[in-house]
Chain A
């Protein structure tokens, strides 16, 4: 075996090795991600179920998993898009802090209502409370059901 061939094979095997090194790093990242996901106590801190939606967007009966911060409004960049003539572009924000939910109305034209009472700025929300934005009624529920 001459020298050139030896080095050539070393390079070839190195190429294969590098592909495996890449694969190993990727798998390590995947496992880390999976383990982090498994460690979360629940998948989501809660969800919002749409009770009534005359406009069709969001769909009545649909259930949205909520993040720690979830935006609601007519603008398509919101996590929950509410296509209702009485909803503002950025209507409200639902957040989960400590162990409680809070709804903040972002100064919408027609206001947000929890259990029929209008929200001034920030108000706490509990599981089972009904939220109304425009003509859309939703209910806050636990994640697992």
Chain B
């Protein structure tokens, strides 16, 4: 039997060469993969808290210290019985901000966000590459924060046993002066090797969620404090001017405003009678009708657009993780993502699908306070290392949101809301004696049963603001009664020092 001719006659050499080429390409692919993990992804992996070298270093290299703006120690290292380091903190007022660094429970807060720097592994790839040739690889950085420890403690004390948050910042630079969330917890108990396990399980089991940093990650219905954002959008887009009035507004005070069959009610101010209010007047009495009409006039697209300029719609550029604040959930077909005009009207005074973080509302106030130019919020102002020296992190702007003229108009309206004859009734506790104070209170209805959230945002002194504050107290009732006095006390403490 003869072997046929044709294909079988083809020598094996040619197919062998094909196989050789495929194998070479396959191995080249592997070499590329090695390059990818060893060079491209390396800087990120080498700093990750899961990296074995980082974990090993954490036990023998003292972690960087964390200090407040005056240099007082917020986080320090101590040696335990085995000679290994563990963290101690300056009190539970800071725990939501500074967090904890525990070998068993990982990291939270700034300890987590700046883990690489505190451990001493951060640096540019060039330093990394040469660090392994040198004897000392680790250069732990100390953090200097803009936080004021006394202010922070006062904020937590002011909130007391209630659940809530306080944000205080300097609008000119964006530096955070206080970032308090309650209930808080004792981070030192989590890092102390003797008490760690018990403390952590207790915290996880607590229904009040003490581990939740409400100031940055809590999302709440804003209520009337959102009107400032609506004002920003209205003036910025040109839909209204500070002197705009709506003729249907006084009548609607009694009967409610009909928007597509839904009645927007307002019951706050029979005192204004039949006057059509302008921006200042409406803000003084927190007129829902006026703002609903402003929102409708501005349109959903512009409302969302201006809100996004102030940070809505994405996580804020901040040292700590932040939740996304929203004006609407975006599922509607109308411009901006609203379902219909009813939702737009309600969102304009901070109800409907609007959810904000306290930090976000502080930024809204900061926009007005800094004449329309919003500065990026910052906690860490400097990093100091033995080898690398001190590196300061400067102020940065998030962009100009509205013109200075428009901002000044809203500023004036907010001053009236705190100091005007009618406004005083709603926000009396917010005024700092002897200083022109601006602000807006809010009572966020939650629908159904349950007390509304109590809000206040504001700044002082109004002519040249040095401090912005946002206060939220969960389900505490009317804003003017609970949040506003807290804000007033804290602003007084900052501007005038302890009494």
Contacts and interface: CB of A to CB of B under 8 A. Distances in A.
Contact of A61 (B2, B133, B134): B2
Contacts of A49: 2-3
Interface of A: 1-2, 5, 9, 43, 49, 51, 60-63, 145
Contacts of A145: 5, 9
Nearest to B11: A43
B202 interface: no
B138 to A, nearest CB: 16
Nearest to A37: B13
A16 to B, nearest CB: 14
B1 A60 contact: yes
B135 interface: yes
Contacts of A1: 133-135
Interface string B1-42: 111010001010100000000000000000000000000000
A9 B13 CA distance: 45
Nearest to A60: B1
Interface in B32-91: none
Contacts of B2: 49, 51, 61
A66 to B, nearest CB: 15
Interface residues of B, number: 10
A49 to B, nearest CB: 8
A61 B5 CA distance: 12
A106 to B, nearest CB: 29
A63 B3 contact: yes
A62 B1 CA distance: 9
A145 B6 CA distance: 9
B9 A5 contact: no
Nearest to A6: B133
Contact of A9 (B1, B9, B133): B133
Contact of A5 (B3, B13, B135): B135
Nearest to B1: A61
Nearest to A144: B11
Nearest to A145: B9
Contacts of A2: 135
Given A5-B133, A61-B1, A145-B9, 18 more contacts: A1-B133, A1-B134, A1-B135, A2-B135, A5-B134, A5-B135, A9-B133, A43-B11, A43-B13, A49-B2, A49-B3, A51-B2, A60-B1, A61-B2, A61-B3, A62-B3, A63-B3, A145-B5
